[in-house]
Amino acid sequence: MREFTFEVPCEQSAATFWALRSDVGFDRWFAALDRQDISVLGNEESTGADGLVSTRRLQKLSFRTNPIPKPFRRLAGLRTDETFAFHVKSSFWTTVFDEQHPYVFQTTFPGILASRVVVCGRQWCVPVTENSCKLMGFVQVCSQRVPATTA
């Protein structure tokens, strides 16, 4: 297991950045930078007893070019002609963005990778000034060896 923390300065207010972070269009723009496409499979808002609105979202990210070499695709339980795609399940509050109300995500990979690789984490904003903030994050990557197959 590997754990990573990060802190990224942002020249926008925390509320402005969080509005972007909550926007599917921002996710699409960001994914395009990595040559991925996003499909929204689910997007549900609810209001809690405290009056805060939260969103649960399920997205499918597809690489435009499969990053897994063809010889390894079969080992991972994938068809060799298949585009590599994975799901991201996330939840977040739409107007609250502190460490106690983070953006939480978890990935689900295809084939045998689903039971062997998990990437999850959380992000939140810390206001620095009226017009700047820090995006804080924690990512955890857990992996197990993918067994080799014999011919």
Handedness of CA 86, 90, 94, 96 (dihedral sign): negative
Q: Which residue has the tokens 């040559």?
A: 35
Would you state the pLDDT for residue 147? 59
CB neighbour burial string for 111-136, b if at least 16 within 10 angstroms, e if fewer: bbbeebbbbebbbbbeeeeeeebbbb
Q: Give the model's pLDDT for residue 151.
A: 46
Three-state DSSP class for 148? Answer: coil
The pLDDT, as a whole number, for residue 150 is: 47
- What is the pLDDT tens value at each position of the chain, 151 positions in all? 999 999 999 999 999 999 998 899 999 999 999 999 999 999 999 999 999 999 999 999 999 988 888 877 777 777 766 788 999 999 999 999 999 999 999 999 887 788 888 999 999 999 999 999 999 999 999 988 765 554 4
Q: What is the DSSP letter of 109?
A: -
Q: How far is CA 124 from CA 26, 34, 65, 137, in A?
A: 16, 22, 31, 6
Give the predicted TM-score (pTM) of the model: 0.85
Amino acid at position 57, single letter: R
How many whole angstroms separate alpha carbon 109 and alpha carbon 76? 10
Rounded-to-integer distance, Cα 144 and Cα 147, Å: 9
User: What per-residue confidence (pLDDT) applies to 34?
Assistant: 92
- Report the amino acid identity of residue 130: E
Grouping H, G, I as helix, E, B as strand and the rest as coil, residue 46 is strand
